[in-house]
Amino acid sequence: MRSVATDSPAPARPAAAGARAPGAGAGPGRAPRQPRAPWAAGFGQAVPVMLGYVPVAFAFGVLGHTAGLPWWAMVAMSAFVYGGSSQFAALQLLAVGAAPYAIVLTTFVVNLRHLLLSAAIAPRLAGWRRREQALFAYELTDEAFAVHSAQYAERAERPKAEVFTFNTAVHASWVAGTLAGVLAGDLVTDVEAWGLDYALPAMFMALLAAGVIADRRGLAVAVVAGGGAVGLTLLGLQYWAVLVAAAVAATFGLAVAEREGRADDGEAVRTEGVPGR
């Protein structure tokens, strides 16, 4: 399998993705489409993520079966923890009989990067009910963050039905894939045969190239973050790679923005007298 350093994912591989948001209507230069129902738009955005999640979750289930873990534990992990790389890490630790506290601590470290995702997406949830914010946060994986960020960059207001349909569909595919893997048990599988291990990387590329990177500064930030994450991964710090590289790159982006003296979002604004600088 290819790696995805993500919330979906794979042990030895961190995963990837990013583009114009599907369901958001037409891209520049394309004929506008019929507006879709919110749930249909959300489900449409979820399909590529589900394509990536199901094979990985399936592999997780098979590995759990092989390690002799009960089916309910595997399904519970996918339902309640819902963090790919941390689940694979926990599986390896369980297989070698590690202490529970070590497993919980490792999970905490692997999933710390969600602090950054949660902080970055939070302003989009202003005005939501607390329990809606909590439910959203519960299902905030790397891939969900990527898709929601791209969508919100295009449309500041999205129907909640769209957002929660996406989250529910993606989460359900993760749990269902896990259960299928547990049940399939000894069936050996080769997800690579279908190229599906490229679904998430391709999605990240689509999101990056077609929406999230708005200008040269965004491109520079992405290059710094990508280079930093590769470097940290090669140093064996894959669990810290996303958090540290992204934080450093965002700081770099802020410095460039301040130096260019522009407002964010690439609007070139001469900034004499702009408050806050």
Partner 1 sequence: MSHLVLALTIAGMAAVTFGPRLVPTLFLAAAALPRPVVVWLRQVPPAVIAALLAPSLFAPAGTLDLGPGNPGLWLAVPTLLLAWRTRNFYLTIAFGIGSLALLRLVTG
Per CB under 8 A, does 25 bind partner 1? Answer: no
* H-type alpha helices, the chain: 38-66, 71-76, 84-95, 100-111, 114-121, 130-138, 142-154, 160-184, 199-207, 216-234, 238-260
CB 159 within 8 A of CB 26: no
The site for partner 1, by CB under 8 A, has a size of: 127
Task: Name 260's Cβ contacts closer than 8 Å, sequence gap at least 6.
Answer: 217, 268
Q: Three-class SS of residue 19?
A: strand
CB of 187 to partner 1, least distance (A): 20
Alpha-carbon separation of residue 235 from 2, 22, 40, 169, 239 (angstroms): 18, 36, 43, 35, 11
**What are residue 19's phi and psi, to 5 degrees?**
-160, -160
* Cα 123 from Cα 125, distance rounded (Å): 5
154 lines the binding site for partner 1 (CB under 8 A):
no
Tell me the per-residue interface mask from 71 to 100 with partner 1, x by CB under 8 A, - otherwise: --x--xx--xxxx--x---x---x--x--x
Least CB distance from residue 130 to partner 1, whole Å?
A: 7
Which listed range, 24-32, 33-41, 155-163, 168-176, lies at the site for partner 1 (CB under 8 A)? 24-32
128 binds partner 1, rule: CB under 8 A: yes
Residue from the set 165, 167, 178, 238 that interacts with partner 1 by CB under 8 A: 238
Could you identify the residue written with the tokens 């790919």? 84
Q: For the segment 156-215, give every residue that binds partner 1 (CB under 8 A).
A: 192-213
250 sits near partner 1 (criterion: CB under 8 A): yes
The least CB distance from residue 145 to partner 1, in Å, is 7
Phi and psi angles of residue 183, each rounded to the nearest 5 degrees, phi first: -70, -35
Q: Give the interface segment with partner 1, choosing from 34-42, 165-173, 176-184, 217-225 (CB under 8 A).
A: 217-225
Comparing CB distances to partner 1, the nearer of 119 and 188 is 119
Least distance from C-beta 24 to partner 1, angstroms?
9
- Do the beta carbons of residue 11 and residue 86 sit within 8 Å? no
Write down the least CB distance from residue 195 to partner 1, Å: 3
Within positions 96 to 125, which residues make up the interface with partner 1, using CB under 8 A?
Answer: 97, 100, 103-105, 107-108, 111-123, 125
Interface with partner 1, residue 271, by CB under 8 A: no
Q: In angstroms, give the least distance from the CB of 198 to partner 1.
A: 5
